[in-house]
Amino acid sequence: MSGHATYQPTNRVLQWLEKRLPIGGLVHSSFIAYPTPRNLNYWWAFGGILSFMLGVQIITGIVLAMHYTPHVDMAFKSIEIVMRDVNFGWLLRYLHANGAAMFFLAVYIHMFRGLYYGSYKEPREVLWILGVILYLLMMATGFMGYVLVWGQMSFWAATVITNLFSAIPGVGDAIVTWLWGGYAVGNPTLNRFYSLHYLLPFVIAGVVVLHVWALHVTGQNNPTGIEPKSDQDTVSFTPYATIKDGFLMVCFCILFAWFVFYIPNFLGHSDNYIPANPAVTPSEIVPEWYYLPFYAILRSIPNKLLGVIALFGSIGILAFLPWLDTSKVRSARYRPLFRQFFWLFVIAAVGLGWLGTKPPEGIYVILARILTFYYFAFFLIVLPLLGIFEKTKPLPNSISESVLGAKA
């Protein structure tokens, strides 16, 4: 669907360029004339919001890097200087820190949308897997960025998370030493995290290009989950999708601004305003909210190695989703049983997030085990079996029929 299409520039400079590098035609066919299903709802606006947030993170990050010093003696102080002395440094930092949280909020909505409407199913498997890779890259980038602050929580999060690799039998300790660049989290660790934290967003940007390319090959899914069959089923991307995406982007920015200007430290941990001190362990080590469900899964399992396997397994399993879900029907609209299990899954994910903030003892551990069990059962038992046993609702004949009624 991407390509040169009907683009005819009237301007002579653009005509000249188009003969040599047909970039105008590519943009036109991908973002203007591109046919999108006419029934897309606001859940389809989050891909655009994510692309926007990636831009915000890269721009604010580049400027922050101009003032940051990746050395254990100066990192914390350089951030305090950004906050107090650099013109609008506080704004840059709060945009970047809260921007990361908003980025994750958007990606979770984007992923749950995909899950609800079956957007991962044939022929969109590669598109989905590229999404899972993006998610992993986002997690790695966010983690390393948090360490750069070199506060107490940064230091201890880096210690706890890198130490997970020591659970690997035989080579675990050697891997941890290699990750640290020494025998403890220290200057080489901070330096390499800085280098990678700068690099990965550009890798993310590259994978986003592949993600959107794959999207433009298969076309978008839509709330009915059935493919467009005629011109009646689609509208052009511009103005319909651009206006709708733009509107939600503005709403999203209002929420973002509310965090930045009114509660900029709401999502952070106060211990990270204490400089890193390897001699003092904080009373509680809590990751940022967007990692909490996985932290709860890790801690729900008493054996360290099994806990680490469950942690990585809980993310890795997403890549197999297109094959674990055996149902021919995509959208949850026509899958009454799936819909109930889906909402239970949302509750389990949020519940695990809440449990990630609680100490791993008593009732909290029991609850975390139940929810961890459901998390995996959803993928490994519920989805494969539902495809066989679920009685789905009748699908409309076409997208336009679902919008305009059977007469259309």
The residues of the shown chain that bind ligand HEM, judged by CB under 6 A, are 44, 46-48, 50-51, 54, 107, 110-111, 114, 117, 119-120, 124, 127-128, 131-132, 134-135, 204, 208, 211-212, 215, 220-221, 318
Tokens 């809980």 found at: 314
Beta carbon of residue 53, minimum distance to ligand HEM (angstroms, whole number) = 8
Q: CA Rg, the chain, in Å?
A: 23
Q: How far is the CB of 225 from ligand HEM (least distance, A)?
A: 9
Calpha distance 121→124 (Å, rounded)? 6
Complex with ligand HEM: residue 111 or 349, whichever CB lies closer: 111
* Beta bridge partner(s), residue 151: 275
Q: Which residue, chain included where needed, has tokens 């449990």?
A: 355
The answer to whether 388 and 326 are in contact (CB under 8 A) is yes
At what angle are helices 292-300 and 362-377 packed, to 10 degrees?
110
DSSP assignment of 107-167, as one string?
HHHHHHHHHHHTTTSTT-HHHHHHHHHHHHHHHHHHHHHHHHT-BHHHHHHHHHHHHGGGG
**Cβ at position 335, least distance to ligand HEM in Å:** 15
Q: How far is CA 111 from the centre of its chain?
A: 7
Output 70 or 228, the one with its CB closest to ligand HEM. 228
Minimum Å distance from CB 36 to ligand HEM? 9
Sign of CA dihedral 90, 197, 202, 252: negative
Q: Which is nearer to ligand HEM, 227 or 271 (by Cβ)?
A: 227
Nearer to ligand HEM, 96 or 124 (CB): 124
Which is closer to ligand HEM, CB of 153 or CB of 208? 208
Supply the minimum distance, in Å, between the C-beta of residue 50 and ligand HEM: 4
Nearer to ligand HEM, 78 or 224 (CB): 224
Which residue lies nearer to ligand HEM by CB, 29 or 189?
Answer: 29
**Least spacing, CB of residue 127 vs ligand HEM, in Å:** 5
* Minimal distance, residue 342 CB to ligand HEM, in Å: 15
Which are the contacts of 226, defined by CB distance < 8 A and separation ≥ 6?
Answer: 330, 331, 395, 396, 398, 399
Task: Decide: 274 and 152 in contact? Cβ < 8 Å.
Answer: yes
DSSP 380: I
- Residue (43 or 165) nearer to ligand HEM, CB: 43
Minimum distance, C-beta of residue 209 to ligand HEM, in the bound complex (Å): 10
- Chain-centre distance of CA 200, in angstroms? 14
The answer to whether 226 and 398 have CB atoms below 8 angstroms apart is yes
Q: Which is nearer to ligand HEM, 249 or 286 (CB)?
A: 249
Token pair 């509680």 in the structure block, residue: 284
CB of 124 to ligand HEM, least distance (A): 6
Copy the structure tokens of residue 361: 């003892």
C-alpha to C-alpha distance for 25 and 181, rounded to whole angstroms? 48
